Structure 1
Amino acid sequence: MRNVRYPLAVSALLLAATASAQVQPTPPGNPPAPAPAPQAPPPPAATPTESVPYGAGLKVNMSPDGSKYFRIISWHQVWTRYNKNNTGSQRVAGDPESSTFDVGLRRSRLLLYAQLNPRFLIITHLGINNQNAVGGGVGIGDPGKKPQLFVHEAVVEYKVFKYLNIGAGLHYQNGISRMSRASTLNMLAYDVPIVNWPTIEKTDQFARGLGIYAKGRVGKLDYVLAMNDPFATNQAQTPATQPLNVADFNPRNSHKSYQGYLAYEFLDQEANLLPYQTGSYLGTKRVFNIGAGFLFNKDAMISRTGAVPVPTPADPFASVPNRLQNLGVWSADVFYDSPINKDAGTALTAYGVYYNYNFGSNYVRNIGSLNPSGAGGSNAIPGAGTLRGNTYPTLGTGSALYGQVGYLLPKNVLGEKARVQPYAAWMHGNFDGLKEIGAKDVNVYDLGANVLLDGHNAKLTLNYRARPDYSNPQNINYRPEITLQTMIFL
């Protein structure tokens, strides 16, 4: 215990001395030390007066200078729609419906791209399209369920030198027109007219080609050229199953497909790292482009030219009279987008395109986007069967015109929270197959408005469409479609 007492006593003395030193009285003649000032509260956080620009979005830099990075973009486009169906439509077999009110996924996508340095680019694009309660899925016995998540693009690209980039894979570097490479993130109208993708889901995979391409810019001339392997299609079809003198895609096509597009940029240059062409810049650029493009595929089409022998021969391709025909398309277009009054925030967007199609004899293809009718119908020349839901002749040997114009209203129309952009669009189709049966040309009219809640990143689009019903080609009636598209992309 004695050994313990001495250290304890020494410790107590040291603590007392320290405390005494800290509370020494103020020497005589010196004023007392002032009390410490109270701590100032932190300044309040500034309230933003407007939405912060989206900028690069979900971009992750992998090097301090940003030369190595990857970016992720995700978007959904949801349609809530009233549709007056074509005559004889059925929601499902045995359930006739003259009109439909439905909700569907027009697009649901995920895009990733990255650069190790400015010379290398990789693109991966996944997604689904056109799912509603009666279609778009692959569920066994349940045609609307479990849509197929598939690869839209898988591309590797290398920059050879300033004027040339080479890429390969499943790509969207299409020829024909500006709208054949349309971005679905920033469209002016609520959707594209489909006339811009003449081989969609035939010799391509949802407007993407499997092949190689070259792209670049020389001065103000932007170009892309591609060579693709056409996908095998119509494998159950033979000349014996075809109507007389009506062409369709050749199931034995093995020739390469060639396409390209050139555009001269008179004003501001557009970004061309990715293939996606902007639909409306909302007054952030002054763009005036004139372009032209083409697509060619040797012996891509086949038509029956004579009677089918009875009984049907084992090899109809050798025994049934038929002829092969080339697929050829060319187009010319013009695009203008410019601010009108920068202080007011107004802007004008306009686009026009002419297509000349050669799909072979009397070819006509009927398409209805996100079709609300899941039963009945025919993809032959109108009159051969009921064109179900919202289907109408969209593509065919002949020609098509498409135009759209939109005006971004002043900033103060809806206050600081949103912008309004009304638009109008028109499609005109002049197809040989319709003339053959005495039907009138195709006209589709769209009138709508974008309510831009955060630019194109968050917007609502309300569209009214007057669509022709060719169920009776000699007595065409126009059916209304009213669509509210809700879209967000990040």
Structure 2
Amino acid sequence: MTTFLRLKLAALLLLGTPLAHAQIIVPPTTGKAPDPAPATAPAPAPAPTKSAPYAGGMKISISPDGSKYVRIMTAHQLWVRYNENNSGTLSAEEEPRSDQIDFGIRRSRVLLVAQLNPRFLVVTQLGINGQSTISGGAPGEPTGPGKKPQFYIHDALVEYKVSQYMSAGGGLHYYNGISRQTSFAAFSLITLDVPGVQSPSLDAIDQTGRGIGVYVRGRVKKFDYRLSVNDAFRTNTGSTPATLTTNVAQFNPRSRGKIWQGYFDVELLDKELNLVPFAVGNYLGAKRVFDIGAGFLYHAGGLYSRPTDNPTPQPARVWDIPYNRHDMRVLSADIFFDTPVDTTARNQTAFTVYAAAYDYRMGPNYVRYGGTLNPGTGSAALRGNAVPMLGTGTAQTIQTGFLLPKKLLGPKVRLQPYAGYIHGRYEGLRRTDGRLQDVHILDGGVNVLLDGHQAKITLNYRARPDFTNIDNLNYRPEATMQLQVIL
């Protein structure tokens, strides 16, 4: 290679060629050089000092803006109870039992609320009610009563918002007359449980207070309304004219007409949310609510009675025995007042009161007996903790509670003492001398609020009349502890 070629090759290697990786020479910047990157990662942000407020279940957005969503909630109420039984009660071993301590599941629910758009709403609720070791199961199962209760649908409704003043819907729904507590939110009550007088047709011609039908509801300024018409469920009483007690009405198993009902109220202070049918029991000082309401229920021919003794001989067909049909007419009026009292940070007290009056027209001498999670066995109406719950006549109930100051036990635990009273006067409850015997039931207790209504313990004492001997009533004690959790 010539000297000229060697010099040319050296110049190309120094300057670079199109075949080599090009380098871009950037002149150095003037001034101070930047600081070197930190050797360690930045410290994490401090954890919040308290948990975020509960937002009503888990919300799953199914649209980017969150306008389409599904909200899921689950809730349980567990009971531990001491009960002194009514006279003559038999235990699960079919032996006389004067008292006992028992356990039960008062309610267990799953609720789904779906908003497809601002006009469409879907509500689905499933669950069980009242399971103990002797009640709550399907009768006749090989496993025996109490086991494997049916996990059934409570609510299955679809709703369309017609205008800002009215929505219309249908399905298995909870838009009832006759009072605010007839469509109650079971997990925000003032007292341990509802009084029972608010649901005269419970599980007789409805399903856990729900009916299959259609409804309209809405709000015009301060006036809130709901109206519905449902088919009556076939009653499970299994009676016939031959099995009736003379001149004592029962639900008519041959009545399948419509049930008409409604409830109207005026909201004088804060407006309540009404997306779902469940009426809040108390707000723990979060709102100032003063509502006055009235409602009705009507079911043509819903009850029947036999005016005279069974004929002798009986007709070949029992339904040929003469009987009378009776319309079911129920009216009510109620008042609900819930307000904060002392809003300072150290106190945040609140007061709640609910009162209702009922008038029942359900045929001659009709009386319904019942006991929640009844510990007695057999078919006797007054076994266990049963009382006359309602009947043809009148009833009144009042419940009140006071949220004690926050400074009492600190910010994490709140106490809400409460009291409840039920009075009934029913024409079918008469002493041997013919005088009416009134029903008086007293409840008192305290809600221990660990996280509002979402986690609370309720301690309740009930003084309950034993109607086994109507001429000489004894009051039996019933003490219950309930653990409630909502997620």
Q: TM-score, normalised by structure 1?
A: 0.89
1:374 paired to 2:377: yes
1:110 counterpart residue number: 110
2:55 counterpart residue number: 55
Match of 1:158 among 156, 160, 169: 160
Q: Map 1:425-444; keep pairs closer than 5 Å.
A: 425-435=420-430, 437=432, 438=435, 440-444=437-441
2:23 counterpart residue number: none
Q: What's the RMSD between the two structures over aligned residues?
A: 2.1
- Name the SS of the counterpart of 1:472 in structure 2: coil
Cα deviation for residue 238 of structure 1 reads 1.0
Q: Map 1:83-102; keep pairs closer than 5 Å.
A: 83-102=83-102
Cα deviation for residue 80 of structure 1 reads 0.5
Cα deviation for residue 51 of structure 1 reads 3.3
Deviations 1:122-162 (A, max 9, x none): 11111101110111112425111111111111101111111
Matched letter for residue 461 of structure 1: T
- Name the SS of the counterpart of 2:185 in structure 1: coil
1:474 counterpart residue number: 471
CA distance in 2, matches of 1:440, 1:78: 34
CA distance in 1, matches of 2:85, 2:436: 20
Q: Map 1:116-155; keep pairs closer than 5 Å.
A: 116-138=116-138, 139-140=141-142, 142-155=144-157
Deviations 1:196-251 (A, max 9, x none): 11100001001001111000001100000000101111463111110000000011
CA distance in 1, matches of 2:225, 2:75: 28
Does the 8 Å CA contact 2:295/2:331 hold for their aligned counterparts?
Answer: yes
1:484 counterpart residue number: 481
Structure 1 unaligned blocks of 5 or more: 1-31, 379-386
- Name the SS of the counterpart of 2:162 in structure 1: strand
1:176 counterpart residue number: 178
- Name the SS of the counterpart of 1:317 in structure 2: helix
Cα deviation for residue 47 of structure 1 reads 4.0
Cα deviation for residue 361 of structure 1 reads 0.2
Q: Cα distance 1:65–1:377, how it changes in 2: closer, same or farther (>3 A)?
A: same
Matched letter for residue 198 of structure 1: P
- Name the SS of the counterpart of 1:240 in structure 2: coil
Cα deviation for residue 416 of structure 1 reads 2.0
Match of 1:456 among 453, 464, 470: 453
Matched letter for residue 450 of structure 1: N
2:386 counterpart residue number: 391
1:402 paired to 2:404: no
1:300 counterpart residue number: 302
CA distance in 1, matches of 2:306, 2:51: 61
The answer to which of 108-117 and 307-316 deviates more is: 307-316
1:324 paired to 2:319: no
Q: Map 1:283-294; keep pairs closer than 5 Å.
A: 283-294=285-296
CA distance in 1, matches of 2:348, 2:50: 14
1:266 counterpart residue number: 268
Q: Cα distance 1:183–1:90, how it changes in 2: closer, same or farther (>3 A)?
A: same
CA distance in 2, matches of 1:331, 1:35: 79
Does the 8 Å CA contact 2:431/2:471 hold for their aligned counterparts?
Answer: no
Matched letter for residue 322 of structure 2: P
CA distance in 2, matches of 1:34, 1:45: 26
- Name the SS of the counterpart of 1:413 in structure 2: coil
Q: Cα distance 1:405–1:235, how it changes in 2: closer, same or farther (>3 A)?
A: closer
Cα deviation for residue 66 of structure 1 reads 1.7
Q: Cα distance 1:141–1:90, how it changes in 2: closer, same or farther (>3 A)?
A: farther
1:167 paired to 2:162: no
CA distance in 2, matches of 1:157, 1:429: 37
Q: Cα distance 1:288–1:242, how it changes in 2: closer, same or farther (>3 A)?
A: same
- May I ask how many residue pairs the two structures share in their alignment? 455
Q: Cα distance 1:270–1:119, how it changes in 2: closer, same or farther (>3 A)?
A: same
Does the 8 Å CA contact 2:338/2:350 hold for their aligned counterparts?
Answer: yes
CA distance in 2, matches of 1:346, 1:47: 29
Matched letter for residue 233 of structure 1: T
- Name the SS of the counterpart of 2:337 in structure 1: strand
Does the 8 Å CA contact 1:338/1:347 hold for their aligned counterparts?
Answer: yes
Q: TM-score, normalised by structure 2?
A: 0.90
CA distance in 2, matches of 1:62, 1:106: 33
Cα deviation for residue 417 of structure 1 reads 1.4
Structure 2 unaligned blocks of 5 or more: 1-31
CA distance in 1, matches of 2:181, 2:246: 33
Does the 8 Å CA contact 1:307/1:321 hold for their aligned counterparts?
Answer: no
Does the 8 Å CA contact 1:216/1:224 hold for their aligned counterparts?
Answer: yes
1:312 counterpart residue number: 314
